[in-house]
Amino acid sequence: MAKLYFYYSTMNAGKSTTLLQSAYNYQERGMNTLIYTAAIDDRFGIGKVTSRIGIDREARLFQPESDLWAEINDHIRQYKLHCILVDEAQFLTKQQVYQLSDVVDKLNIPVLCYGLRTDFQSNLFEGSQYLLAWADQLEELKTICYCGRKANFVLRLNENGEVVKDGEQIQIGGNNCYLSVCRKHYKEKIEG
């Protein structure tokens, strides 16, 4: 029976690497996957899921207005699908999470979503909120703070490496803009 999975974490926990490994595992067994990533994230090129360890795969893009249910239905008319993989799942809309749950429930195709749980202000992203609510299985991927504890918060940094406390929820960036930290160090940096 297919399930909707949500693999969540802070930045630099290996979400994209895990997605690419899953895609490879399906491919190695002769099974077809469809990979999606957010159009808004073009750090490593448009239409690519790229891992910091240097591996990548082509991916379809989703935007807020994308109808994933319709796209996947069109695709399965031509090719059998064994799994859907979604990178940057925090950028999904509520409706898109619902559509992906329909893929699981009506088409019996597993959907594996990978994304951030919260933003730099500790607020849930829309996609993460509904994946946390509706996913059949939740898996936390872990990384560590500079102190060695589990990192479960993200700090946004300006060009001088100083903590940013306000701003738009979405600002695309990597290690130059964000730092994954434990709760203790998050609170110290935000309050300090």
Distance CA 124, CA 187 (A): 17
Contact predicate 5/135, CB 8 Å: yes
28 an active-site residue? no
Q: Which two tokens stand for residue 102?
A: 């329909």
**What's the DSSP call for residue 118?**
B
Distance CA 147, CA 144 (A): 8
Q: Which of 17, 23, 29, 59 is nearest to 41 (CA)?
A: 59
Amino acid at 106: K
Distance CA 47, CA 63 (A): 12
| Owner of token pair 């979604």 | 86
Candidates 28, 65, 71, 88; catalytic one = 88
Who's near 20: CB < 8 A, 6+ residues apart? 49, 51, 55, 56, 57
Contact predicate 131/118, CB 8 Å: no
Residues annotated as part of the active site: 88
